[in-house]
């Protein structure tokens, strides 16, 4: 990785269960980071041969006939559309067999139906519906397109066939003409507009491939590109992902099945809605301005799990295995001795235990996991990695490079789409380390697991 840059985004939560962002802010962030990269790496920008796109999944961006944004996008962790999901199952008894997943409230299809019911004036003006990274594509290239992997997670697609499901689309109150054309993840879907190429010092006509949702691109980034390969993504949410060579619809436990970014493969996913996002939340609560410094202080303190409270990380409800947007987060076991570092470590422990629940749900479907990688910003913490490996009872492979994730996967798809190999070196373009479960920690987490499960029964 030659250079990297990032820009922050703000989430709005105007009502309970709601989670929204302004799509224009996505594009502003892209322009900001590419301006920065153009200034830092002029020669590398001039040598770019292809662009890959990745982004958060399930978001719903509505545009009018002039491609102006009509309202804030409903995000992947928005929980308002439970009733609409239940209605889709009543209308389509074979819904899961077709799309691969239950219509949980964060998914695109029930959210679109919610908009049709509650904001019909907005739907009346809508002429385009795009996923987050596809809104960026529209701004970058002028083309409205989506890849089949990301699109399969909308629940608007017959997933095995790889095309939009017209009857489900209509049932959600939208028109097929509003949806983008579908391409493969490594298929060229457009080229960078001249105005942006000139601004950033890119060659004229650089191709932009389909790309994928962050989960699928992260799989490519860590090298999970054959059946049985699996990873855990420790980002804002926590994702347990396994690649399959068969379409295995997910009927329960908050699981979902989609197409992989690699043609011919599918993937099963289990999701913990608040992972590193929970750590960011507690950092804000205890006024720790630097999360990296907070984690370093927690690791240096060497606190025992026996001395930390129990935390259930359901700040946004939970998807896997509970499928319940109304679950709430909580601490229990607080004492006068509890300090900020105890709270922060409790959050890390609670997320590890929740990932253990999600991982067990994934394995209960019969998913054959041959190897398990860990990626995402949270993977920088040795303590957190050890907690997760121990909670799962399974070794984890961790890349030394923090860039082995969705952005790297998108770049690899761009390379494949412009004539190169998908994987040209080791899975993470860097050294790998193997972290095994800690027997002593397993005893302590086992005690905490009992308290975690007991408290979960209280907050249901």
Note whether 60 and 115 are within 8 A (CB): yes
pLDDT in the model for residue 19? 97
Q: Determine if the peptide bond prior to 193 is cis (ω within 30°).
A: no
pLDDT in the model for residue 367? 79
Of the residues 214, 229, 357, 429, only one is catalytic, namely 214
Question: Is 357 one of the catalytic residues?
Answer: no
In sequence order, the 6+-apart residues with CB closer than 8 A to the CB of 259 are: 148, 149, 152, 159, 162, 216, 265, 266, 267
What structural domains and CATH numbers belong to the chain?
20-210 (3.30.420.40), 223-460 (3.30.420.40)
pLDDT in the model for residue 400? 67
The predicted model scores a pTM of: 0.90
Three-state DSSP class for residue 188: strand
Note whether 136 and 30 are within 8 A (CB): yes
pLDDT in the model for residue 289? 87
pLDDT in the model for residue 366? 79
- Give the other-Cβ count within 10 Å of 394's Cβ: 18
Q: Using the Cα atoms of residue 227, residue 233, residue 236 and residue 238 in order, give the sign of their dihedral.
A: positive
Q: In a structure prediction context, what are the per-residue pLDDT tens digits for the chain, which is 460 residues long?
A: 888 999 999 999 999 999 999 999 999 999 999 999 999 999 999 999 999 999 999 999 999 999 999 999 999 999 999 999 999 999 999 999 999 999 999 999 999 999 999 999 999 999 999 999 999 999 999 999 999 999 999 999 999 999 999 999 999 999 999 999 999 999 999 999 999 999 999 999 999 999 999 999 999 999 999 999 999 999 999 999 999 999 999 888 889 999 999 999 999 999 999 999 999 999 999 999 899 999 999 999 999 999 999 999 999 999 999 989 999 999 999 999 999 999 999 999 999 999 999 999 998 887 778 789 998 888 899 999 999 999 999 999 997 665 668 999 999 999 999 999 998 655 544 567 899 999 999 999 999 998 899 878 776 6
In the block, tokens 């545009």 appear at 63
In sequence order, the 6+-apart residues with CB closer than 8 A to the CB of 290 are: none
Q: Using the Cα atoms of residue 160, residue 161, residue 167 and residue 170 in order, give the sign of their dihedral.
A: positive
């Amino acid at each position: 990785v030659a250079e990297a840059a990032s820009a922050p985004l703000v989430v709005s939560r105007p009502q309970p269960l709601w989670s929204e962002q302004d799509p224009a802010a996505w594009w502003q962030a892209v322009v900001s980071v590419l301006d920065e990269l153009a200034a830092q790496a002029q020669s590398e920008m001039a040598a770019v041969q292809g662009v890959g796109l990745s982004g958060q999944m399930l978001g719903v961006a509505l545009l009018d006939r002039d491609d102006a944004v009509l309202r804030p996008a409903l995000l992947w962790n928005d929980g308002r559309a439970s009733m609409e999901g239940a209605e889709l199952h009543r209308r389509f008894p074979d819904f899961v067999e077709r799309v691969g997943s239950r219509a949980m409230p964060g998914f695109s299809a029930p959210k679109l139906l919610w908009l049709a019911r509650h904001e019909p004036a907005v739907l009346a003006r809508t002429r385009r519906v795009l996923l987050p990274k596809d809104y960026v594509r529209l701004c970058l290239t002028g083309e409205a397109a989506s890849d089949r992997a990301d699109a399969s997670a909308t629940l608007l697609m017959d997933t095995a066939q790889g095309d939009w499901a017209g009857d489900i689309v209509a049932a959600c109150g939208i028109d097929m003409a509003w949806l983008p054309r579908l391409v493969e993840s490594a298929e060229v879907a457009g080229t960078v507009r001249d105005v942006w190429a000139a601004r950033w010092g890119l060659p004229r006509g650089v191709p932009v491939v389909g790309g994928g949702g962050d989960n699928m691109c992260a799989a490519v980034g860590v090298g999970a590109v054959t059946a049985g390969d699996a990873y855990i993504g420790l980002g804002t949410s926590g994702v347990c992902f396994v690649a399959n060579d068969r379409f295995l619809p997910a009927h329960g436990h908050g699981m979902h099945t989609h197409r992989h970014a690699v043609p011919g493969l599918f993937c099963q996913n289990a999701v913990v809605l608040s992972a590193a996002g929970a750590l960011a939340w507690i950092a804000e609560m205890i006024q720790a301005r630097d999360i990296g410094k907070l984690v370093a202080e927690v690791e240096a303190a060497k606190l025992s799990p026996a001395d930390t409270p129990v935390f259930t990380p359901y700040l946004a409800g939970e998807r896997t295995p509970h499928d319940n947007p109304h679950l709430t987060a909580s601490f229990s076991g607080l004492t006068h001795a509890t300090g900020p570092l105890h709270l922060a470590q409790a959050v890390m422990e609670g997320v590890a235990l929740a990932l253990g629940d999600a991982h067990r749900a994934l394995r209960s479907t019969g998913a054959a996991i041959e190897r398990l990688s860990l990626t995402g910003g949270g993977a920088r913490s040795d303590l957190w990695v050890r907690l997760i490996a121990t909670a799962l009872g399974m070794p984890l492979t961790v890349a030394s490079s923090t860039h082995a994730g969705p952005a790297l996967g998108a770049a690899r798809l761009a390379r494949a789409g412009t004539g190169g190999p998908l994987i040209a070196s080791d899975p993470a373009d860097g050294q790998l380390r193997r972290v095994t479960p800690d027997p002593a920690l397993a005893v302590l987490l086992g005690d905490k697991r009992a308290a975690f499960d007991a408290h979960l029964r209280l907050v249901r």
